[in-house]
Structure 1
Amino acid sequence: MKEFAGFGNLLFPMPDRHRDPLTLDQMERLLPYHSHIHTKTTIEVLETLKEEVGQGKKIFYPIYTEEEMRQDPEKRNTGLFFFRGKVDEPFAIVNAGGGFQYVGAIHESFPHCMEIARRGYNAFALIYRPNAYEACEDLARAIAFIFDHHEQLQVSTMCYSLWGGSAGARMAAWLGSYGTKEFGEKPYPKAGTIVMQYTGLSEWTRNDPPTFVIVGDHDYIADWRIMKRRIDHLKQAGIDTSFRVVSGLEHGFGIGMGTKAQGWIDEAIDFWQEQMKKEK
């Protein structure tokens, strides 16, 4: 689509093995670590973005300078897709998973951002380099970019949240635990809330932000019990937490459309709102 010129290549993961044209109903071939992929939701995301562009709104923001991208061409494949909520409301950054092999944003961050924006909050989907440390560098830069441009973007930096599924959940947790300075940026305020889906991360710190977790008990990629133990440690350290395990649900369910998890994003936003109240 001409509306997405300059960044349309970042909407879908395109590994080298898929050189033949694919239709939207074949998208699961691009997302081997994901499940419950809904073509209708994909179309809704694309139509939403197209409508924003048609209204003259900027929907994509590079996070690196031209000089940085010349020095490291892989940084051209990064950036933030902006789903606008209400002016001067807090923001969320959502990080899709993909095993640090691809970025499944079309299933695991764009739909989340769309739902968050419908609740009035501003949401950014990060497209990052699929390497664990570099991905965290990109997330740290994304936080820096939003803080440094918050007036232009018309977002509040109060009690921002970091979201992620699978590999993206690790990114959100690591930035929550260690902060932006650990990943090459100056120290920015830490997130007010972390929202995590299905990952096998066990490490934690006493500085972790309040954390919301949802997992399925049929997840054969990331055992839900690892997440439960992590949340128990946070809770014992006096950190606000919320943990939900969904029976019969596997890895990579995204917004959970058509599953027992459908509507979980509202629960996560409610948890985030409780943290906002405490910051005021």
Structure 2
Amino acid sequence: MGRLTGFFSVNGDALIDATNIASDGNYAPVTAGTTVSEIINDPAFVDFGRLLFPVDRTISTDMTLTDISSSNVYVWYSEIKADTTVKIINRLKKDAEEGNQIFFPIYSEKEMQEDSSKKDTGLFFFRGEPGAKFAMMNAGGGFMYVGAMHDSFPHALEVSEMGYHAFALIYRPDDAYADLARGIAYIYDHADELEVDPEGYSLWGGSAGARMAATLGNRDAMRYFGRPDIPQAAAVIMQYTGYTAVSKQDAPTYACVGTNDGIASWRTMQRRLQTLADYGIPTEFHAYDGLSHGFGLGIGTNAEGWVNDAVAFWKKQME
């Protein structure tokens, strides 16, 4: 199979690396040896490929997907799997190749021109079945960076494979809550064209992202952000956070954490959920023996499969 090489222009105003385009128009799948630079310049990812990786950290674009699947890049995280990284990129590539839009800016061109930081935001869309409900995934990163490749993309992929729509939010660490509110509003306002059921959605998050999910899951949150017409989330799914704020207006909450987490105490999380339960709010809590902070899907650990439990909890809240 022949290949084009070098660069070509689109409408005379953009240069796109054509190295990975096959002569029959199909894109070759990425591998663990594919570099960050190759992915960023892949035509499937147009001008948003850089947002697949943390833009708030300095990362060499010569790194391979194996290199980048490390706690040296995704600080505070564990159980990072290169195979999962490859699977995520290939799923998004395939969707793009088939003509599906996989990335949605949440701010208008005018808003991004007025505030350039808003260019570092958006939603990666992992499609489920037409008309299905949606989950919003929020990665952590200590409000220093967005660890999506380990802490929201894998969750979005897995939930989409169950038939639900899943969106992974890329947000600004210093304005995360506003970006999450805008992301929810974007999906709600474009539900028809996205083929999404906007009712009964769930908010997911790990670490800092869990704080975001819990905060925006409060019944009054969207009113605060100027959208009282948007209903409360049916469920909040949260991992490893020391978030302690609690309210009778909070959403039903599923939480999980490792017992060896040196950042988020499992006892702190358990106490918060017990308070919610005392208020009559549905909860479910899991502490996984021996796991440390940021285990993501927990593949190969005693937490593996927790996403199935979380989805079952979400479904129960929609009955």
Give yes or no for TM over 0.5. Answer: yes
Q: Contact 2:132–2:196 (CA<8 Å) still a contact in 1?
A: yes
Unaligned runs of 5+ in 2: 1-41
Give 2:44's aligned residue. Answer: 3
Q: The residue matched to 1:219 in structure 2 has which SS?
A: coil
Question: Quick one: which of 167, 181, 184 aligns to 1:124?
Answer: 167
Identity %: 49
Give 1:179's aligned residue. Answer: 221
User: Deviations for 1:42-78, whole angstroms, at most 9, x for unmatched residues?
Assistant: 0000000000001000000000011111111110100
State the shift of 1:121 in Å. 0.5
State the shift of 1:186 in Å. 4.7
User: How many angstroms apart in 2 are the aligned matches of 1:47 and 1:20?
Assistant: 18
State the shift of 1:17 in Å. 3.7
Structure 1's 16 and 176: CA in aligned 2 closer, same or farther, altered over 3 A? closer
User: How many angstroms apart in 1 are the aligned matches of 2:295 and 2:212?
Assistant: 18
Greater helix content: 1
Q: Contact 1:215–1:245 (CA<8 Å) still a contact in 2?
A: yes
Between the two proteins, the alignment pairs up a number of residues equal to 275
Unaligned runs of 5+ in 1: none
Q: 1:97-246, aligned counterparts within 5 Å?
A: 97-131=140-174, 134-177=175-218, 178-246=220-288
Q: The residue matched to 1:6 in structure 2 has which SS?
A: coil
User: How many angstroms apart in 2 are the aligned matches of 1:20 and 1:61?
Assistant: 24
User: How many angstroms apart in 2 are the aligned matches of 1:8 and 1:17?
Assistant: 15
User: Deviations for 1:92-113, whole angstroms, at most 9, x for unmatched residues?
Assistant: 0000000011101111111101
Q: The residue matched to 2:212 in structure 1 has which SS?
A: helix
Give 1:274's aligned residue. Answer: 316
User: Deviations for 1:137-156, whole angstroms, at most 9, x for unmatched residues?
Assistant: 00100111011000000000
With normalisation by structure 2, the TM-score equals 0.84
Q: Contact 2:124–2:169 (CA<8 Å) still a contact in 1?
A: yes
User: How many angstroms apart in 2 are the aligned matches of 1:17 and 1:61?
Assistant: 24
Give 2:19's aligned residue. Answer: none
Q: Contact 2:288–2:303 (CA<8 Å) still a contact in 1?
A: yes
State the shift of 1:183 in Å. 3.2
Q: The residue matched to 1:245 in structure 2 has which SS?
A: strand
State the shift of 1:243 in Å. 0.3
- Bigger relative contact order (CA 8 A; separation at least 6): 1
Give 1:258's aligned residue. Answer: 300
User: How many angstroms apart in 2 are the aligned matches of 1:30 and 1:185?
Assistant: 36
